[in-house]
A and B are shown apart, each in its own frame.
Chain A
């Protein structure tokens, strides 16, 4: 008991500590809903995006410590209104309704609401929407526009959930902001965005009506950023062109080489790069939208297939030639078969020879292979043309065979609305080639290949290919949901949050429950403590008469409405108070179930009421109610799954985050369910053992 009290005290101290922090340091809390790329999204556990970056810079300049709170979109405006956050930045569209509630800064971007539909959808434009199942994200402009101008939409907690519903045929169309829509569609080849946006809108940051000073400061900073071009630069940097590299399912070792080359190019040109395994169909499908992206199909394309792409550019990074001694019997390339051929280790030529001729002898660099050829240890060397010309300047005994042995060529394809993206890209990559940078990259790619590249891109290497077989697709789905980008960490971290909340609220529940039960039974037995008893009755009625989610929201938004407080603590208080009511009634039942002769025996021996309660009644009552208490704690563990309502990333929410990234419901939900199940089974087993131990004396 004393230890429990100590814990409570610690909680209270921690709570006071949090309050002090706010007052001492200048902290700026930004409310957002991080499921809205590129404006805000979770990347490697951190909230990033255009909004986050702009606010981060403004906060820094104004001398604030920025803290970003992730919550449901419909809560972000409320958060600034109640003062939980000072600024809401979540791709918020300026509307008249919202202007009533909060101040808006100058807009920093003009965006569009677009329609996502299935590839084969009959919906062609906004005119076809009437009567269809329309999904929207709750609290967005899309929602109010559809409601006011078309019909009642189906509302979803966040964008990915709506898109998942669409992909699963539960909706006909999703109305959503243009930029996140592109990101969603990029991951799902069965979806497309209709070319014509539904409506245009302005984004701005929201600030509480009581904080005009902050509004002015924000506007001043925004104006400066606009004038200096910084704002445009930030937005552009988040709207980077994406380079999507598609490998055939059975790609061999040359995949690592190609990856390395393209990664270097992407990094140098400030592109985002993604690697996919797939077939040509996926590739063409991804191109059919007007997105700033280039597809790099590493799949050999026939001329006919190339015609599928509206804008295709080929780029040859290097040409490889064959170097032979002056009087070599090798006259044409087919003579190379069966000869000792040397090349630079890790180069494109090595992979090419391996695939098309037979495995070559490899050397750490081109010069060494040429030396080996001069010494007569090799019959031929395959290296890139520029290097060959350089090395052969002073060597009259070797010659370059006429013609090009192999070309290291990349195909880049852009969507039909985006020929400029392709042109710009080809222009910049040619610049890299003429400056020699590209050559260095090719060499570096070979270098990297020599040492195992696990540390660079382990994920892509181990990725199982998406196949059509049942097990293949399950394997892929498992990989995609848990292994890729270490998504399992959402579950692991969520699990610990859930455990933390459960354990602490169980402790708090026991303390409250015991106190209330003792007050209530004392009032019943002795007729004293009437006032306290009345208070306890009110507590029990209110807590047991309202849903725990509502209690949680009230504690977060009303009771701690204007205080900055750790959300885990809020959850512990809410669930602890809730659980306390049930525990109190369970324990009171236990106390009342003890024969009143026990109390009389204790009192007749001269023990006080409290001593008798502590030494005689409560130990017996506790033993009797242990199964019921255990059950209550199991219920509590599962009830904490609503902690996501105050944007706590517990286990359930962890699964939600994975779902929002993979648009796959099966594995994340089953995994979350299994984890709860295992914990509950473990708890039941533990309780069984405890019961057995306590039963020993009967």
Chain B
């Protein structure tokens, strides 16, 4: 089997009022497309945010390519440069042009020279058909366009893995398609992806593996067929019967 990207052991994240992630352990390998699904408040977003340390875990280990990133001696910045993140609300930088949005991080973190970053940004923009928006500002784009820009902004860093936090939840229905098809393309190219989503149909189509979370715990984990269609677990069956 291929290289292990993430190895998560007994991950716990406690907030003052609740335990959002409760002893979660799993492994994500290179090239895997893992979808995390579950009811609202099940802790799936918090779990995802722990993966790039946007949330500081309360206990447990996260090994990224063999190194424990919860330890202080690890450089968080260089770790995060290898882990891309796509947010529900895009979080583009409104005061910068699209081109600058994409090139800022690669240049500032010295992963690419200004020239390389610029060329790479242009290539990515052409690929998603938004090259004409190169010098526009985020406010001039539609939601779907913004989210696709956010995805290639993460891609421009050449990450080992992309994390998606409900990437289509804030979109108007007619714009969901363009984002999903870009994600599908990336999945088919072998990008390692961890996706938190409510798009169960899309998960069934694209995922290698689906994790069902509830109350901070992994309830079941397996192929889409196993989890979505044929789970024996009553809570899982109940959930999918409502959303499908």
Contact (A595, B80) CB under 8 Å given A603-B54, A615-B108, A698-B137: no
Closest to A611 in B: B108
Partner of A697, one of B83, B84, B139: B139
Given A598-B93, A600-B87, A698-B94, check contact A605 B137 (CB 8 Å): no
* A 293-328 binary contact with B (CB < 8 Å = 1; else 0): 000000000000000000000000000000000000
Partner among B54, B97, B108, B111 whose Cβ is within 8 Å of the Cβ of A600: B54
- Interface residues as binary, B97-133 with A (CB distance below 8 Å gives 1, 0 otherwise): 1000000110011010000000000000000000000
Q: With an 8 A cutoff between CB atoms, is B91 at the interface? A: yes
| Residue of A595, A606, A620, A697 touching B77 (CB-CB under 8 A) | A606
Tell me the minimal C-beta distance from A279 to chain B in angstroms: 71
Docked-complex contact B94 and A604, CB < 8 angstroms? no
0/1 interface trace, chain A 601-619, chain B, CB 8 Å (1 if under): 1111111100100011001
B157 lies within 8 A of A697 (CB): no
By a CB distance below 8 angstroms, the chain A residues around B137 are: 697-698
Q: How far is the CB of B62 from chain A (nearest CB, A)?
A: 15
Residue A623 interfacial (CB < 8 Å)? yes
Q: What are the residues of chain B within 8 A of A611 when measuring CB–CB?
A: 108
Contacts of B153 in A (CB 8 A): 605
Per a CB cutoff under 8 Å, which of B81, B82, B91, B95 touches A595?
A: B91
- What residues on B are CB-neighbors of A616 within 8 Å? 93, 95
User: Which residue among A604, A607, A608, A623 has the maximum number of chain B CB atoms within 10 Å of its CB?
Assistant: A604
* Nearest Cβ on chain A to B65's Cβ, whole angstroms: 15
A583-604 interface (Cβ within 8 A of B): 595, 597-598, 600-604
Q: Does B78 contact A (CB under 8 A)?
A: yes
Give A608 to B108 CA distance when docked, in angstroms. 9
Q: How many Å from the CB of B47 to the closest CB on chain A? A: 15
B109: chain A residues within 8 A (beta carbon): 605-607
Say if the beta carbon of B191 comes within 8 Å of chain A.
Answer: no
Q: Are B81 and A598 touching (Cβ within 8 A)?
A: no
Given the known inter-chain contacts A597-B89, A615-B104, A620-B94, please indicate yes or no for A604 contacting B80, CB distance below 8 A: yes
A461, B219: Cα distance in complex, Å: 103
Q: Would you call B157 and A605 a contact (CB within 8 A)? A: yes
* Contact B87 A597, beta carbon cutoff 8 Å: yes
Using Cβ atoms and an 8 Å threshold, which residues of chain A touch B82?
606
B95 to A697, Cβ gap below 8 A?
yes
A600 to B85, CA, bound (A): 9
Chain B residue with Cβ nearest A605: B105
Task: Tell me which residues across on chain A come within 8 A of B92, comparing CB atoms.
Answer: 601
Interface centre among B54, B83, B94 (most CB of A within 10 A): B94
Chain B residues with Cβ below 8 Å from A595 are 89, 91
A697 CA to B96 CA in the complex, in Å? 8
> For residue A597, which residues in chain B have a CB less than 8 angstroms away from its CB?
87, 89, 91
A619 and B94 alpha carbons, distance in the complex (Å): 10
Indicate if the CB atoms of A606 and B80 lie closer than 8 Å: yes
Q: Which residues of B contact A602 (CB under 8 A)?
A: 93, 105
A604 cross-chain contacts in B, Cβ below 8 A? 52, 54, 80, 83-85, 87, 154
Residues in B whose Cβ lies below 8 Å from that of A601: 85, 87, 91-93
- A603-B80, A606-B78 are known contacts. Are A598 and B91 too (CB-CB below 8 A)? yes
**How far apart sit A30 and B47, CA to CA, in the bound complex (Å)?**
74
Q: Which residues of A contact B79 (CB under 8 A)?
A: 606
B78 — which chain A residues lie within 8 A by C-beta? Answer: 606
- Which chain B positions have C-beta within 8 A of A619? 95
B residues less than 8 Å from A606 (CB atoms): 77-82, 105, 109, 111, 157
Closest B residue to A596 by beta carbon equals B91
CB distance from A612 to the nearest CB of B (A): 10
Contacts of B111 in A (CB 8 A): 606
**CB-defined contacts of B105 to chain A, threshold 8 Å:** 602, 605-607
Contacts of A698 in B (CB 8 A): 94, 137, 139
Q: Please report the C-alpha to C-alpha distance between residue A604 and residue B153 in the assembled complex, in whole angstroms.
A: 11
Interface centre among B93, B109, B137 (most CB of A within 10 A): B93
**Which of B82, B104, B157 counts the most chain A CB atoms within 10 A?**
B104
Give the distance in Å from the alpha carbon of A611 to the alpha carbon of B77 in the complex: 11
Nearest CB of chain B from residue A481's CB, rounded to whole Å: 50
A601 to B78, CA, bound (A): 15
A606 to B91, CA, bound (A): 15
Chain A: which residue is nearest B150 at the CB level?
A601
Report A187-244 residues with CB < 8 Å from chain B CB. none
Verify A600–B77 contact, CB threshold 8 A: no
Question: Does B154 contact A605, Cβ atoms closer than 8 Å?
Answer: yes
Contact indicator B93/A607 (Cβ below 8 Å): no
Contact residues in A for B85 (Cβ distance below 8 Å): 600-601, 604-605
List the 5 closest pairs (A to B, CB-CB), nearest first.
A606-B81, A601-B91, A605-B105, A604-B85, A597-B91
Complex A-B: 30 CB contacts under 8 Å? A595-B91, A597-B87, A598-B91, A600-B87, A600-B91, A601-B91, A601-B92, A601-B93, A602-B93, A603-B80, A604-B83, A604-B87, A605-B84, A605-B109, A605-B154, A605-B157, A606-B80, A606-B82, A606-B109, A606-B111, A607-B77, A607-B105, A611-B108, A615-B104, A615-B108, A616-B93, A697-B97, A697-B137, A697-B139, A698-B139
Binding site for A on B (CB under 8 A): 52, 54, 77-85, 87, 89, 91-95, 97, 104-105, 108-109, 111, 137, 139, 153-154, 157
| Interface residue ranges, A against B (CB under 8 Å) | 595, 597-598, 600-608, 611, 615-616, 619-620, 623, 697-698
Kindly list 18 other residue pairs between chains A and B, CB separation below 8 angstroms, not including A605-B104, A605-B154, A606-B105.
Answer: A597-B87, A598-B93, A600-B85, A600-B91, A601-B92, A604-B54, A604-B83, A604-B84, A605-B157, A606-B81, A606-B109, A615-B104, A616-B95, A620-B95, A623-B95, A697-B137, A698-B94, A698-B139
